[in-house]
Amino acid sequence: MVAGTVRAGIGSRPCHTDGMDLHDPSEVVAALAEHGYLADEGLATAIFLALRLGRPLLLEGEAGVGKTEVAKVLARWTGGELIRLQCYEGIDAAQAVYEWDYPRQLLHLRAAEAAGPSATGADGPERVDELTDQLFSERFLVRRPLLRAISPTDDGVRPVLLVDEVDRADDEFEAFLLEILSDYAVTVPELGTFRAEVPPVVVITSNRTRDVHDALKRRCLYHWVEHPDFEREVAIVRVRAPEVSDRLARQVAAATESFREAGMYKPPGVAETIDWAQALALLGRDELDEASVSATLGSVLKYREDQQRARHDGLGRLVEAAQRRSGT
Amino acid sequence: MTEPDRVLVAFVDALRDAGIAEPVGSTLAFVEAVGALDRPSRSSLYWAGRATLVRRPEDISAYDRAFDAFWRAVPMAPTALAVETVRVVLDDDQLDDDEDDEADEADAHDDPADRVVTVRFSPHEVLRTKDFASYDADELAEARRIMAELRLGGARRRSRRRHASSRRRGDPDLRRTVREALRTQGDAVRLRHLEARQRPRRVVLLCDVSGSMEPYSRALLRFANAAVAGRARVEAFTMGTRLTRLTRELSSRDPDVALEAAAGAVADWSGGTRLGEGLRRFNDQWGVRGMARGAVVVILSDGWDRGDPDELAEQMARLSRVAHRVVWVNPLKASPDYEPLARGMAAALPHVDDFVEGHSLASLEELAEIIRADVPRTRRRVTR
């Protein structure tokens, strides 16, 4: 989950691809790079297949490896609307699929009553039927993310649906997510079935705090997202934070990597690497030194125990090791 | 089916042999995925398989081995192939063999031919308080049956999911209110309400399978099996020299199938223990990330630890900060002159909410009672 916005310069114009014109995963690597995301071959292949086969993509991995960012960059690339559904415990159909706009329905009822008998002159039970039809029409339907994702779009570009942190929702929710993802249709009893003309691009992320149900996994393409290797991480920092010098980017990436190997409680993710590099650049640093590492440690290590441990191991040694490792 | 497709199907078979569960749907997805690649290279083939045939990170290394073995045997131009001859047998390593032997031994004990049939007055009552360590194979089988009746239910907590309430407080239920207003020509005569649902907390069992726990670990694992198969929100792990997640293996309702699967998955039966390290792994990979949050965590161990007691104390502190309750079950506690002198046990106790015995059926029933109890989170109230 790399935070931050895309700055001008790396956000090129969307190309309105529907995925069907792609022939090779390397095209995905190039297109994503143009929009500020550096994907490795494995992730690119998974994205390529998700677009070509029209299947949802399930991304699992440590927090901070850039899972959510995949959906964002896909939206920028394809020009589709990004529809985000943040999952949480207890999320249900009313928040994820659709709900009726009850306050407006009540107002409508009162207004209809005040206006007297309808134009058609219907009364009694017929009048009730007429009112019911009016109340349960699309006018009073509140479309939540899942229904929006399968509704027709203005520009005809398939939207990108991001179902974020699905492991936080409960199993009941997974069941109806599966139902919607298997035929991209939603049935509203009062109105009938909505079916997507073009299925959306679906990205589901999970931090793996529990196992996602097998049935859902079978429906999806799966990719386990790893921390990037050293050179890729340097490149990511350079793309996302152009104000950071190459030297600083290399040293920061090397130091972050050594934190990951040290077995911290919360190994820093790419998001932390970028934050840290930005923090140091903001302080006017061109390379790591012990004092500024100490001052900015909180932007990369977010547990007290981890910080204590890093200080105990020696920040001076960390700086030296990072310099050696990055060859600067 | 075209020739190249047959090769792909044979590869999926090789993965099944390597122990990865592959439903037919995955095979179809894989064939379709490779079809979408214009010029499949070795590496794009690898990644197409990873995206369609691997669904959990634990399977990645088995996939890698099978991929190498299979595609070394198959040249990259799959069209020129006689598929029927492709049969990849993966070497089992030494560890696997050992486990199998042990599992076989266990099976031999259960063999009905070996059984001596004795008539006992209410065997249930006799067994209830007998120490697992002094069980014979027969009694263990009997105990297994009794344990199947044990139901483990976590304490309940308020869920964020809400449902219609008959009471007149809480947030208004607009959906029902509007529905009813329709019948009265738009007058909302009665305001309906919502109330929060109650959900059982997750229960996490961490079972020590080191040498010193040997007399108990099989019985306790059966207890874990009964718990996991009984309801959805139970997770089970074993700790020895490594941490193994057994929730899947133990989820079978047939205890023999479940225990055999578990025996196959655990590589460190009756080895040493490093409780601190095992707990650290649990905390890092599962617990603190979400599984133990608000859960009832049950540790089944005698507290004999070859690792560093400070590490154990630190990890117990981390665990107790996220868990609802931490229950430590120590089979040795039943003996009258027991004192928690084992270094590990002494280090862990300050972070334990309940410290109980676990040596007999009766004590496991008591444990189930404690797990179910709706007591508020109490800290450091340990009965020694």
Burial class (CB in 10 A: 0-12, 13-18, 19+), A304: exposed
pLDDT band at residue B178, thresholds of 50, 70 and 90? confident
Of A144-148, A311-315, B65-69, B155-159, the range with the lowest mean pLDDT is B155-159
For B248-270, write each residue's pLDDT tens digit. 888 877 777 787 788 778 777 77
Give dist(CA A298, CA A115) in Å, integer: 64
Rounded to whole angstroms, what are the CA distances from A3 to A283, A302, B192?
20, 16, 42
Higher per-residue confidence, B373 vs B327: B327
CA distance A203 to A200: 10
| pLDDT band at residue A8 under the 50/70/90 scheme | very low
Give the per-residue pLDDT at A246.
93
Q: What is the pLDDT of residue A9?
A: 39
Contacts of A52 in chain B (CB under 8 A): 36
Residue B354 banded pLDDT, cuts 50, 70, 90: confident
More confident: B170 or A56: A56
Tell me how far apart the alpha carbons of residues B262 and A322 are, in angstroms, rounded to a whole number.
Answer: 44
Identify the CA nearest to B301 among candidates B225, B357, B255: B357
Q: Is B33 an 8 Å CB contact of chain A?
A: yes
User: Quick check: B328 and B357 in contact, CB under 8 A?
Assistant: no
Per-residue pLDDT band for A294 (boundaries 50, 70, 90) equals: very high
Give the residue, B136 or A248, on which the prediction is more confident: A248
Largest CA distance in chain A: 87
Domain segments of chain A: what residues?
Answer: 25-89+144-225, 98-141, 230-326
> If we measure between CA atoms, which residue out of B131, B299, B161 comes closest to residue B224?
B299
8 Å CB contact of B51 and A207: no
- Token pair for A33: 């790079």
| Strands B325-329 and B354-356, bridge-based pairing | parallel
pLDDT, greater one: A271 or B148: A271
Domain covering A25-89+144-225 assigned CATH 3.40.50.300 in the classification: yes
Question: Which value, to the nearest 10 degrees, does the dihedral of the CA atoms of residues A132, A133, A138, A143 take?
Answer: 30
The residue among A138 and A170 whose pLDDT is bigger is A138
* Confidence (pLDDT) at B377: 52
If pLDDT is split at 50, 70 and 90, which confidence band does A278 have? very high
Is residue A6 helix, strand or coil? Answer: coil
> Residue B207 phi/psi, 5° resolution?
-110, 125
pLDDT digits (tens, 9 = 90+) for A106-131: 888 888 877 776 656 666 778 778 88
End-to-end CA distance of chain B: 68
User: Over 50: is that where the pLDDT of A70 sits?
Assistant: yes
The highest-confidence range among A279-288, B192-201, B258-267, by mean pLDDT, is: A279-288
| Contact yes or no for B159 and A222 at CB 8 A | no
**Which residues in chain B have their CB less than 8 angstroms from residue A49's CB?**
33, 36, 48, 51-52
Q: Side-chain half-sphere of A305: how many Cα atoms within 13 Å? A: 11
| Percent of all residues in chain A with a pLDDT value above 90, rounded to a whole number | 52
Residues B16-20 have a mean pLDDT of: 88
- The residue ranking higher by pLDDT, B48 or B265, is B48
Q: Partners of B145 in the beta sheet? A: none
The 10s digit of each residue's pLDDT in B62-71 is 899 999 888 8
Q: In the predicted model, what is the mean pLDDT of chain B?
A: 75
What is the spatial distance between Cα B176 and Cα A326, in angstroms, rounded to a whole number? 64
Contact criterion met (CB below 8 Å) for A213 and A160? no
Q: Among positive and negative, which fits the CA dihedral B123, B124, B127, B132?
A: positive
For residue A94, what pLDDT is reported? Answer: 86
Residues of A in contact with B175 (CB under 8 A): 94, 100, 102
pLDDT at residue B102 in the model: 38
Closest partner CB to A90 (pick from B23, B160, B293): B160
Average pLDDT on A247-267 reads 91
Average pLDDT over residues B159-175: 77
A168–B55 CB contact, under 8 Å: no
Average pLDDT value for residue range B222-248: 82
- pLDDT value, residue B51: 93
Kindly state whether B27 is in contact with chain A, defined as any CB-CB distance less than 8 angstroms: no
B chain contacts of residue A210, beta-carbon cutoff 8 Å: 235, 290-291
To the nearest whole Å, the CA of B286 is away from the closest chain A CA by 6
A209 falls in which pLDDT band (50, 70, 90)? confident
Contact B47 A224 (CB under 8 A): no
Please name the helix (run of DSSP H) or strand (run of DSSP E) that holds residue B189, with its range, or none. none
Could you tell me if A237 and A275 are in contact, meaning their C-beta atoms sit under 8 angstroms apart?
A: no
The pTM score is: 0.70
Determine the pLDDT at residue B82: 31
Short-list A153, A167, A213, A157, CA closest to A67: A167
pLDDT at B293 over 90: no
C-alpha distances out from residue B236 to A12, A48, A306, B102, B148, Å: 49, 37, 28, 21, 16
Angle at A264 between CA A262 and CA A268, to 5 degrees: 100
d(CA B72, CA A300): 43
What pLDDT, on the 0 to 100 scale, is given for residue A113?
78
- Please compute the mean of the pLDDT values over residues B145-161 and round it to a whole number: 69
Closest chain B residue to the Cα of A92, Cα to Cα: B161
Q: How many Å apart are CA A63 and CA A268, to the nearest integer?
A: 9
pLDDT attached to residue B104: 38
Among B residues 189-208, those touching chain A with beta carbons less than 8 Å apart: none
The pLDDT score that the predictor gives to residue A122 is: 64
Output the pLDDT for position A153: 83
Beta bridge partners of A197: none
Residue B347 has pLDDT above 60, yes or no: yes
Q: How would residue A15 be classed by pLDDT, with cut points 50, 70 and 90? A: low
Least confidently predicted of A296-310, B112-126, B346-360: B112-126
Q: How many CB atoms lie within 10 A of CB A59?
A: 23
Which residues, 6+ apart, have CB-to-CB distance to B125 below 8 Å? none
pLDDT computed for residue B232 by the predictor: 61
Q: Using CA atoms, how far apart are residues A177 and B326, in angstroms rounded to an integer?
A: 34
Task: Give the angle subtended at the CA of B362 by the CAs of B345 and B319, to the nearest 5°.
Answer: 35
Task: Report the range of poorest mean pLDDT among A249-258, B15-24, B40-49, B189-198.
Answer: B189-198
Q: How many helices (H) and strands (E) does chain A have?
A: 15, 9
Q: Is the dihedral of CA A231, A234, A238, A240 positive or negative?
A: positive
**Chain length of chain A:** 328
Cβ neighbours of residue A266 closer than 8 Å, sequence gap 6 or more: A63, A301, A302, A303, A306
Residue B120, pLDDT above cutoff 60: no
Structure confidence by residue, pLDDT tens digits, B199-228: 788 889 998 888 778 778 778 888 888 888
pLDDT value for A16: 54
Q: How far apart are CA B49 and CA B66, in angstroms?
A: 11
**Distance separating alpha carbons of residues A297 and A315, to the nearest angstrom:** 10
Probe site for chain A from B31, B47, B284 (most A CB atoms < 10 A): B47
pLDDT value, residue B128: 63
Contact (Cβ atoms closer than 8 angstroms) between residue A227 and residue A270:
yes
At B52, is the pLDDT very low, low, confident or very high (cuts 50, 70, 90)? Answer: very high
Lowest mean pLDDT among A35-49, A178-192, B252-266, B293-307: B252-266
In degrees, rounded to 5, the angle at the alpha carbon of residue B199 between the alpha carbons of residues B198 and B201 is 135
Mean pLDDT across A181-197: 89
The residue among B323 and B270 whose pLDDT is bigger is B323
* ipTM for this prediction: 0.71
> Any idea what the Cα angle at residue B373 is, between residues B218 and B165, rounded to 5°?
125
User: In the structure, what pLDDT confidence band is assigned to residue B116 with cuts at 50, 70 and 90?
Assistant: very low
The dihedral built from the CA positions of residue B22, B24, B25 and B29, taken in this order, carries a sign that is positive
Q: List chain B residues with CB under 8 Å of A100.
A: 175, 178
pLDDT of residue A4: 39
Query: What pLDDT was estimated at residue B42?
Result: 86
Average pLDDT for chain A: 87
pLDDT at A120: 61
Per-residue pLDDT band at B103 (split at 50, 70, 90): very low
Band the pLDDT of B356: cuts 50, 70, 90.
Answer: confident
Q: What is the 3-state secondary structure (H, E, C) of A112-136?
A: HHHCCCCCCCCCHHHHHHHHHHHHC
pLDDT number for residue A318: 92
